[in-house]
Amino acid sequence: MTVVQWVTPHADPLMRSGGALRTGHLIRELARDVEVHVLVVGDPPVDESALRKVTGAASARWFPGPGRVGVRALCLRHRWPLSVARMWNPAVTSALRAHPGSVLVAEHPQAALYRPGHPYLLHLHDAEAKRLRELPVSGGPVQRVQGWWERSTFPAWERAVTADPQVRVVTVSALDASALGVSATVVPNGTALQPYRQAPLAGRVLFVGALDYGPNRAGLGWWAEEVWPRLAEGFPRLTVIGRGGASALGTLADHPSLEVVGEVADLEPYYREAAMVVVPLLHGSGTRVKVLEAMAWSVPVLSTAKGAEGLQLVPGRDLLVADTAADFAASARRLVADVGLRRELGSSGRRAVEPYSWAEAGKLLRDLVLSVAVESSAERPSRS
């Protein structure tokens, strides 16, 4: 049986963010046909038993990162990006050697730190260097210095690992492959379809996303400072759900436009009550699982073009798209006032995401893994 070693800087058994949903579902689909061993490297610790149970992996192990002092030393010695140095643990190399004939799936450019000397998969959720360039620098002096270091070192690291002749790159969209300037196999994001529902006559205006993710924080700041002042008095506050909660948003959490709920065990009650989901993203790459998830619940979506990019959706038919604060506010008012439009968009969006299946994405990834396994086994005798 083919053995896969899946190395990642994060894996959340609760699958509370778009990235964790993609990781969890793809490992689960892959584990139906191959033996998967998950190696999570970095902080915080991961519940190994829960991760193994939810993904169906044969094993799941967590390895701590080198700590703050160790990270700084590695960065200065090797000129590694901070995010790469945080993933270094020599015990991971030993664990990988325990399965010499396995296929490595390195998730994110950081995990390419452990790339072998034979073909492997580099599984990318986005074009990370592009996202870093677009995201404004913020925070105190320490955060700004760290941001400067990452912007200075990460693009070269990303270029080097994606140019490796042994790598087979996987992206979520053709746009990301183009931004990276590489040939890649597209394995799109997916979602779990829910029964059709009609939008309620009135309901929540909802945002779902990891609040410790920079582009989400920036998007919520734009909503609060630019969009909210253009909305009529009495417009519903934006219900904000996501990992990190109020502490991740800092002072923004107290803005009168936001009702910050934070993490919840079950999103179903919120989607059932939602009049619409807003995706006010100005930065980032990849494709947004939050858009697919909302549409799977027949909830109408209002997004920026950045929030909807990379998905095969038709603006005006499957969702509304607006990029200026004035247009975004006008579209939000229109959706709140027009239940017929909400129901029309909800039904059309639900139909549009039917092709986005985790099972189909998993099949694409499985076929690629098996191809790399054959390729690797053919190369190994020539090295001996």
Structure confidence at residue 380 (pLDDT): 59
Structure confidence at residue 383 (pLDDT): 46
Preceding peptide of 44 cis, ω within 30°: yes
Pick the CATH number of 3-190+357-383 from 3.40.50.150, 3.30.10.20, 3.40.50.2000, 3.40.50.2300: 3.40.50.2000
Structure confidence at residue 283 (pLDDT): 87
**C-beta of residue 40 within 8 angstroms of C-beta of residue 60:** yes
Structure confidence at residue 18 (pLDDT): 84
DSSP string covering 134-186:
HSPP-SSHHHHHHHHHHHHHHHHHHHHHHT-TTEEEEESSHHHHHHHTS-EEE
Side-chain half-sphere of 305: how many Cα atoms within 13 Å? 3
What is the distance between the alpha carbons of residues 202 and 91, in angstroms, rounded to a whole number?
54
Name the residue ranges covered by the structural domains of the chain: 3-190+357-383, 204-352
Structure confidence at residue 384 (pLDDT): 43
Structure confidence at residue 377 (pLDDT): 78
pLDDT by residue (tens digit) across 30-82? Answer: 999 999 999 999 988 999 999 999 999 999 999 999 999 999 999 999 999 99
Q: What is the largest CA-CA distance in the chain?
A: 74
319 three-class SS? strand
Side-chain half-sphere of 288: how many Cα atoms within 13 Å? 29
For each of the chain's 384 residues, which pLDDT tens digit applies? 899 999 999 888 878 788 889 999 999 999 999 999 999 999 889 999 999 999 999 999 999 999 999 999 999 999 999 999 999 999 999 999 988 889 999 999 999 999 998 999 999 999 999 888 887 777 788 888 999 999 999 999 999 999 999 999 999 999 999 999 999 999 999 998 898 888 777 889 999 999 988 899 999 999 999 999 999 888 999 999 999 999 999 999 999 999 999 989 889 999 999 999 999 999 888 889 999 999 999 999 999 999 999 999 999 999 999 999 999 999 999 999 999 999 999 999 999 999 999 999 999 999 999 999 998 877 655 444
Domains 3-190+357-383 and 204-352 share a fold: yes
Pick the CATH number of 204-352 from 3.40.50.2300, 3.30.300.30, 3.40.50.720, 3.40.50.2000: 3.40.50.2000
Structure confidence at residue 313 (pLDDT): 95
What is the distance between the alpha carbons of residues 200 and 274, in angstroms, rounded to a whole number?
7
